[in-house]
Amino acid sequence: MKNTAPLRSDDTAVVGRVSALGAGGICILHIAGGQSQSLIEPFLETPSGRKLKELKDGDIVYSLFRDSAGVIDEVLVVRRRADFWEINCHGGAAAACAIEDRLAAAGAVVDRERVLDAGELAGMDAVKRAACRELASVKTERAARMLADQLGGALSQALNQLADAPRLKALLPTFHYGRALIEPRLVQIVGAPNVGKSTLLNRILGYDRAITSPEPGTTVDRIGDLREIDGYPLLFSDSAGAASGREKDENPPPASDFVLFVLDASRRLEEGELGLAGGLPHDSRLVVMNKCDLPVECDPEEILENGESPVRISALTGSGMDDLLEAVRALVSPAIVPGPGSAVVFRESWYRALREAGDDERKIREAAERILEGNLK
C-alpha cells in the first residue's frame, strides 16, 4: 500500500506523477524534500558511472531504475535542485506506477499536490497553479495551448488589471470557451429503435464501440466514448431506442449538452418520434437523417424548427459524415473564441465570483484578488 500519511518533517521525500499516464511517450515523476536524493539513489544504476552527488542543477543523467528483482525501466534523471528531482520514464502505467510504488515503499509520501507545490508551482499565484494542474489531464492540444497561455500569465495579468465593469464584461464570456476545452461535454445520440444510432456512434468514433444488428433494440445500455472535434473533447453516447412510460421513469436519459436526433430516412416519421422531437431544445440539437443510401420516405418538416436543416448521411457507407462533423463543430463551438495568448477563465467558481461582482468596482477587485490568492477553488 502506498504511503500517503502526512509529512513527518520538512526533509521527508514526497513523490507524485505530474503528467498523465498514457500508452506512449513519457511519464514524469517529481521527488521533493531533503531526503529525495538519498531516497532515489539506491534504485538507480547509471551506465556512465556518474553519481547523483556530482550533478548540478539542470543536469540530466541516463539511468536504469531497478529493484532487487531487476530493471523496471530506463529513465532520465534530472536534478532540478538539491532537494528536488525529476524522473522521466516510459509513459505506460506499468513503469510509472512501479517506480512510484518502490519509492513509496522506501519511505516517500505519495502526494501529487504537495510535490507540485514544492516544485514548479512554488511562487506561482493560484491561477497559474491551477493551469499547471489542469495541464496534466487535458484531452486535446487546443486545451493544452489555452492552459499554457494561462500558465504564462495571461489570466493573472487580466485579473491584476481588472478594475471596472467593461473589462469584466469582456472577460466573463471566455469561461464558456475554457469550460468547453477542459470538461468533455455530452453529445447524446437519440432516436427510435433501429434508426442506426449504434452504427452512427461507431462511425463517429472510428471504431466499433457499439454492437450493431438489423434487429431493433440491440443496444440495451448507454455506451459511449470520447472524440475530439476541432480541439473540443466530446463524449458521444448511444443508448437503447426511445423508451416510453415506465421505462423512461425508471431509466431516464442523462442530461445532455447536445443531442443528435437520428431519423430513419427510409421510412415515414412515427408518432413517438414527433413526441420525442418536441422535448429536445432546437438550439442544442442536430436532426440527422440516416440511411440516405436507401430510397427516402421521411419528411422531417414536421419536427424542424426555426430554419433547422437536417443533416443527411449514411452511417453505413460514411456518406455525409464530413457534413455531420462540420455541423457538430458549429454546434459545440462557443459563441466567443479567444485568440492565442488571451486570458481565459477556466474554473466555474471563478466565473461565478466575477459574475456576482456585477458593476461594483470594489467587488470586482475583491473577486480578482480572491482568485489570485487561491481563496476560491
Residue 113: pLDDT above 50?
Answer: yes
Find where cell 452504427 sits.
199
Question: What's the pLDDT at 243?
Answer: 42
Q: Identify the band that residue 255 occupies on the pLDDT scale cut at 50, 70 and 90.
A: confident
Confidence band (pLDDT; 50, 70, 90) for 5?
very low
**CA pair distance 67, 3, nearest whole angstrom:** 18
The pLDDT tens digits of the residues spanning 320-351 come to 999 999 999 999 999 999 999 999 999 999 99
pLDDT given for residue 132 in this prediction: 85
Q: What is the pLDDT of residues 173-206, one digit of tens each?
A: 999 999 999 999 999 999 999 999 999 999 999 9
pLDDT confidence of 136, banded at 50, 70, 90?
A: confident
Is there a contact between 118 and 19 (Cβ–Cβ < 8 Å)? no
Residue 251 has pLDDT above 90, yes or no: no
Q: State the fold for domain 14-118.
A: Gyrase A; domain 2 (3.30.1360)
- The amino acid that residue 306 corresponds to is N
pLDDT higher at 295 or 240: 295
Q: Which fold has domain 182-332?
A: Rossmann fold (3.40.50)
Q: Is the pLDDT of residue 170 over 70?
A: yes
Per-residue pLDDT at 137 exceeds 90? no
pLDDT greater than 70 at residue 245 = no
Contact 113, 15 (CB under 8 A): no
Q: What percent of the chain has pLDDT over 90?
A: 66
Question: Does the structure show a pLDDT above 80 at 118?
Answer: no
On whether the pTM is more than 0.85, the answer is: no
Position 86 pLDDT exceeds 70: yes
Question: How is the chain split into domains, by residue range?
Answer: 14-118, 126-167+339-373, 182-332
Cell digits of residue 294: 436507401
Question: Which pLDDT value is given to residue 327?
Answer: 97
Q: How many CB atoms lie within 10 A of CB 185?
A: 15
- In whole angstroms, how far apart are CA 239 and each of 190, 224, 316, 323? 7, 9, 18, 23
